[in-house]
Structure formats: structure tokens, C-alpha cells
Amino acid sequence: MTNLKARFKTTSAAASRNRVVEYRSGQYIFRRGDLGAEMYVIHDGRIEVLGPGDQGLEEKVVAALEKGDFFGEMAVLEGLPRSASVRAATDVKLVRIDGATFTQLLRSEPEVAVRIMRKLSRRLRAVEAEKRESRSGLTEKNQAEVAASVESAVTASLIHCDSGTKFEVTGDVPVLVGRRDPITGIEPQVDLTAIDPERSCSRQHAKIVREGQDFLLIEDIGTTNGTFLNGMRLATGVPGEIRHGDKLRFGTVSLTFEI
């Protein structure tokens, strides 16, 4: 989502209820257990999400969010007390969104709903993964063996045309291309954050999958600025076969596919 703050602020009739609020570095926006009926979009600056510390110690930083990210939406959806504390890591300006504006936004901007659903899905996957790991008793040695097998599966790469940055592509699992999203916990294997200062690439932009000896590129749902294969835009969800030397573009970021 390239300009989430602007989308919130331009929701026609509801926009008048939005209000920019400012907090100084170190100041709490809200604390765990507080009641809340609004969410926030970061207009400028950076905030920290704080969770409970180990063995009752003071809160610890569990996530950091920056301009364009949003937080506090669960209180709006559930009407329950805040599940974490949020503190300004720098001086920040936030757009405060009340429940009525949030409801209208979901109707007019379904991409916002998609991001929230992805966030919830990632949480559920994390919980299920913890349960499976607990049941299987996965040891550090097992984890190292798994990591080694993934590393050995690297059969292709993406080369950034301008900087020469190389991203390895594993052949056995879908490879997500996008930008890191601290809100949903998305950590794409091909993270274009550093080479996409314009944020033209969606956080969950496209996937590279392998079928036998073939590599396929598939644009993800909710991608805003398009996925291009040798100059031709791919339709969302429709695979395009990619070969050695093909030129791929995600938003404005161009890369070369090499096997």
C-alpha cells in the first residue's frame, strides 16, 4: 500500500472526523489494558510496540512501525482493551481514525481490509507453528539441518539492474517478493525495501514458484503498481513462466532473473 495515510485522509465525508495528533519521543500513545475506540496511521516519525517482559520484568519492544504503517485496529474491531502498549520512538504525527471512519474506509478501500486479514492470518499461522514445534520437539540441530537444506536448494536468483544487489531464489517453496511489513509480520524472501525508496512495490507483491523444472511468476491479490515480465503486465493470479535472462519489474523496481 503506497500511501495509506492519504487514503485514510481522503475518505470523503468521514475525513472531517480524522485528526492529526502529535506525541513527543518517549511519550505513550496508549498502554496495555487501556480502553480504545480508535486506530492510528503514522503520518511522520516512528513508534514502538511494547509487550510484556519475561518473568514479569518491564515491557520490551516487540515491533517498530514507521511512516505509512497503522496500529490499534484490533481495539476498533473487537471493542476490547489494548493488548499492547505503544510509545513514540521519535517525535511523531499520527492520524487518529475513529470507528465510524474506519467502517467507511473498509467499504471504500478493500485493500485496507486485505492487509488486516493478512495480519490476522499471520498471527494464526505463528500460533499454529508454535504448537507444531512444541509437539515435534524440534531441536536446534534439526533447525540447522532444515536451514542447510533450504540453502542448498537455491537454484536461481534475481539481480537488481541498478545496484547489482542479488536475491537468491529457492526452488522448492514459493518465494515471496515484496517489502517487509512489521504490521503483519511479513518478511519476504526477496525484500525490496532497501532498493525501493518510492515504495512502489506492494508489501506482498508477487510469488515465484517452481513446477518441475519451470519457474513461474504470480502477482498477488491487492498489488497496486503491477508486475511485469519482459515489459508485459501480468494479470493478478495468472502465472507467467520465467526463464534465464528475463526482465522482471515489480512496481518501478527492475530485476533480471538468472538460473
For the stretch 217-246, pLDDT in tens is 988 877 888 999 999 999 888 889 999 999
Whether residue 103 is found in the same domain as residue 206: no
Q: How would you classify the pairing of strands 85-88 and 60-66? A: unpaired
- Gap between the Cα atoms of 146 and 151, Å rounded: 9
In this prediction, residues 3-25 reach a mean pLDDT of 60
pLDDT of residue 183: 65
Over the stretch 54-88, which tens digit does the pLDDT of each residue have? Answer: 655 678 888 888 888 888 887 777 767 788 899 99
In a domain, 131, yes or no: no
| Cβ pair 191, 178 in contact under 8 A | yes
In this prediction, residues 99-110 reach a mean pLDDT of 74
pLDDT of residue 60: 84
pLDDT of residue 145: 55
248 vs 120, higher pLDDT: 248
Q: How confident is the model at residue 39 (pLDDT cuts 50, 70, 90)?
A: confident
Q: How confident is the model at residue 44 (pLDDT cuts 50, 70, 90)?
A: very high
Whether residue 83 is found in the same domain as residue 35: yes
Whether residue 85 is found in the same domain as residue 156: no
Last residue of a domain, one of 46, 81, 108: 108
Name the residue range of residue 91's domain. 4-108
46 vs 67, higher pLDDT: 46
Last residue of a domain, one of 58, 85, 108: 108
**Most distant CA pair in the chain: distance in Å?**
57
Q: How confident is the model at residue 13 (pLDDT cuts 50, 70, 90)?
A: very low
Chain-centre distance for alpha carbon 240: 24
Q: How confident is the model at residue 127 (pLDDT cuts 50, 70, 90)?
A: low
Angle between helices 110-136 and 99-108 (to 10 degrees): 100
pLDDT of residue 29: 95
Q: What is the mean pLDDT of the chain?
A: 78
CATH code: domain of residue 239 = 2.60.200.20
In this prediction, residues 121-136 reach a mean pLDDT of 64
Number of domains into which the chain is organized: 2
In a domain, 114, yes or no: no
Cell numbers that stand for 184 in this block: 503483519
CB atoms within 10 A of CB 64: 12
Over the stretch 168-224, which tens digit does the pLDDT of each residue have? Answer: 887 566 889 998 877 666 788 899 999 998 889 888 899 998 877 788 898 887 788
pTM of the full predicted structure?
0.49
Cell numbers that stand for 114 in this block: 486485505
